[in-house]
Structure 1
Amino acid sequence: MNVREITEELEYKILSPDAAKSREAIRKTNEVLCPFRTAYQRDRDRILHSKSFRRLKHKTQVYITSDDHYRTRLTHSLEVSQISRTIARGLRLNEDLTEAIALGHDVGHTPFSHVGEETMADLIGHFSHNEQSLRMVEYLEKNGKGLNLTVAVKDGILNHTGKTLPKTLEGKIVKTADRIAYLCHDYDDSLRSGLLSKNDLPSLVKKSLGDVPSSMITGMVCDMILSSSNKHDILLSEHMTEVMNSFRNFMFEKIYHSKILAKERYQSRFIIEQLFHYYMKHFDKLPTEFLIKEDAWGKQQIVVDYIAGLTDSYAVAKFNEIFVPPVWNQWIKTD
């Protein structure tokens, strides 16, 4: 037996009967198996080495800033991965599958956080970052070849948000861990920015979880593990569900939809709108790798794919290149 086969065999001995087993993983296109890595380990590595994952380091989580200490989509994804793996280990589920889903869940996110997603939806009628993440790994990566990820990883990426639940318990972990991560870490960033103070927290949240992000994460993670043990499902207690909903409503009111960030949201929306209209009118200005897909996908989908893949900084750079005239300082020497 090689290393992969030994690992696959151990999964049946160590993991919960409810855990997804690597040996049973399915791909759209069959491949020669790796002698060392399981199917879900290979998926994790493919996502980690992908261009779309690297671009997350320059995509906004909440705050559009050059400050190194605020979260980006990349650090958010890493934090979701850590939280998800902790829960998976506590429930004896497949950590590799959980990690792959967590790392890939936001690779289709637009620049400028959810305002970019909302703007794109307004422009074309429907756009969802989870669907774009699936499209990214299925069709856009590797010059259109895609990553050929397993069905379970793609299902977890697609259904990490929205009403449809993932088919695996590992995917369900990521769905809740994503919320835990963004609530606690966006709260942490809001404290740093000065937009919130610890005294602003709803009393229910503060009483149940405290006001320190690390303790808040620990409280929700512990509740998930204890509530889900031997239940064949991923659950939160009724009390913790109430606490999380209170926390989420608070963050939407005070931060995500706050008037203080309205100017940044307007600027971001304007850039996305103008780039979209420009490339729809000047389609030939897109990179060749996108132009050659016109017959297969149509102009609008290709423009959406291109803009959704941009980082914040590159979107601003393209906007300036297209719409802002160059200005030179002219020095006139006089006696």
Structure 2
Amino acid sequence: MSQSIRLRTEEHEFQRLSPLAAKSAEARRTREEVECSVRTRFQRDRDRILHSKPFRRLKHKTQVYIAPVGDHYRTRMTHSLEVAQICRTIGRALSLNEDLIEAISLGHDVGHTPFGHVGEETLASLIGHFEHNEQSVRIYTVLTGNGEGLNLTEQVLDGILHHTGPGMPNTLEGQIVRIGDRIAYLCHDFDDALRAEILSVNDLPATIRKEIGSSTSEMITTMVLDMIQASEGKDTICQSAEISAIMKEFRDFMFERVYYSSSLQEERSKSRLILGILFDYYLHHPEILPEDYLRWTGGDLKQAITDYVAGLTDNYAISIFKHLFIPKE
């Protein structure tokens, strides 16, 4: 097939996108490839992530609530889809590259462990250092593609790595995801907290309700519009000082009243116990690990266990634990 479709899309990017936008034609991979006749490099990255097993596993990974009763609570997959939607809206308004934004958004959380942040904290305590953003990059550079990764572009990997933690993404598209991720999880986790009856709308501090609203839709709309207005014409993505301060207050409130709330403490403790016991079991029984993990780490057992355990879904981790340690009826 002729290369004209992809080339036309790349040409359109230079014509219609901001001069500050990342351009697909300028994207670089570690390994050179034959180009797709239809899709740009960022579009191919998005599709590779979307069709990957690590992304599919996100549907059974906790966002906040471990094995929630009910179908409407967020998972890591729904969170990633919501981040993509929010960030594409911002990117379109600023004439930036939506395909790059979508690829980063869909891939940013694949490195999360089972049981949400408590799983991340547990692995960090066991091996000394573990960050889900770094694991996301490891997944797409080592733990997929039979040990060779998916050969994603540098811009996508940079956005995934720097969506949290120190350092800023090199692209404006990555910077959008860095802030948009926080908008998504704060607003949607608040919505889930209302559904779980951990919070009521009246629990939300009055300053937050006044400045950004009290419903998910109001909150997202206010913060998205603020990002667009604050970033218009600038070479960096930002928020106004007022909304940035409110967002920090909102985040502090959510950590105190939801993420570290006493109502979730029992489940968090159970999660730590499960992961700790599984890690120790594999340490003493390396022969039952899938052999690929040891091969991909060059025989580094702790790294192989970390890679395997971090990739488990909540349900599968619980199932393995029951199989290994709970007597059958």
For residues 171 and 290 of structure 1, what CA distance do their matches in structure 2 show?
30
**1:69 corresponds to:** 72
Asked if residue 257 in structure 1 is aligned to residue 260 in structure 2, the reply is: yes
For residues 259 and 215 of structure 2, what CA distance do their matches in structure 1 show?
20
For residues 207 and 130 of structure 2, what CA distance do their matches in structure 1 show?
34
Deviation at residue 145 of structure 1 after TM alignment: 2.0
Deviation at residue 291 of structure 1 after TM alignment: 3.5
Identity over aligned residues, as a percent?
Answer: 59
Asked if residue 47 in structure 1 is aligned to residue 49 in structure 2, the reply is: yes
SS of residue in 2 equivalent to 1:231: coil
Report if aligned partners of 1:205, 1:243 keep a CA contact under 8 Å in 2. Answer: yes
Asked if residue 218 in structure 1 is aligned to residue 218 in structure 2, the reply is: no
**1:239 corresponds to:** 242
Deviation at residue 297 of structure 1 after TM alignment: 5.0
Q: Structure 2: which amino acid aligns with 1:242?
A: A
For residues 196 and 306 of structure 1, what CA distance do their matches in structure 2 show?
35
Q: Deviations over 1:137-176 (max 9, x none)?
A: 1100122121000000000000100121000000000000
Q: Structure 2: which amino acid aligns with 1:170?
A: E
SS of residue in 1 equivalent to 2:327: coil
Report if aligned partners of 2:88, 2:98 keep a CA contact under 8 Å in 1. Answer: yes
Q: Structure 1: which amino acid aligns with 2:113?
A: T
Deviation at residue 308 of structure 1 after TM alignment: 0.3
**1:284 corresponds to:** 287
**1:180 corresponds to:** 183
Q: Structure 2: which amino acid aligns with 1:131?
A: E
For residues 11 and 296 of structure 2, what CA distance do their matches in structure 1 show?
43
SS of residue in 1 equivalent to 2:142: helix
Deviation at residue 290 of structure 1 after TM alignment: 2.0
Asked if residue 33 in structure 1 is aligned to residue 35 in structure 2, the reply is: yes
Deviation at residue 48 of structure 1 after TM alignment: 0.0
In the TM superposition, what are the counterparts of 1:86-165 in structure 2 within 5 Å? 86-165=89-168
For residues 286 and 18 of structure 2, what CA distance do their matches in structure 1 show?
52
**1:324 corresponds to:** 326
For residues 279 and 325 of structure 1, what CA distance do their matches in structure 2 show?
19
Report if aligned partners of 1:156, 1:172 keep a CA contact under 8 Å in 2. Answer: yes
Unaligned ranges ≥5, structure 1: 328-335
**2:203 corresponds to:** 200
For residues 66 and 148 of structure 1, what CA distance do their matches in structure 2 show?
38
- Match for 1:7 among 9, 25, 33? 9
For residues 315 and 77 of structure 1, what CA distance do their matches in structure 2 show?
21
Report if aligned partners of 1:62, 1:256 keep a CA contact under 8 Å in 2. Answer: yes
Q: Deviations over 1:2-33 (max 9, x none)?
A: 11000000001100000000000000000000
Q: Structure 2: which amino acid aligns with 1:21?
A: K
For residues 159 and 304 of structure 1, what CA distance do their matches in structure 2 show?
21
For residues 208 and 118 of structure 1, what CA distance do their matches in structure 2 show?
33
Q: Deviations over 1:196-234 (max 9, x none)?
A: 000011111100111110110000000000000001110
SS of residue in 2 equivalent to 1:142: coil
Report if aligned partners of 1:284, 1:291 keep a CA contact under 8 Å in 2. Answer: no
- Aligned-residue CA RMSD (Å): 0.9
TM-score scaled to structure 2, two decimals? 0.98
For residues 41 and 2 of structure 1, what CA distance do their matches in structure 2 show?
16
Q: Structure 1: which amino acid aligns with 2:133?
A: N
Asked if residue 312 in structure 1 is aligned to residue 298 in structure 2, the reply is: no
For residues 105 and 134 of structure 2, what CA distance do their matches in structure 1 show?
15
Q: Structure 2: which amino acid aligns with 1:4?
A: R
For residues 161 and 318 of structure 2, what CA distance do their matches in structure 1 show?
28
Deviation at residue 192 of structure 1 after TM alignment: 0.3
Q: Structure 2: which amino acid aligns with 1:12?
A: F
For residues 297 and 67 of structure 1, what CA distance do their matches in structure 2 show?
41
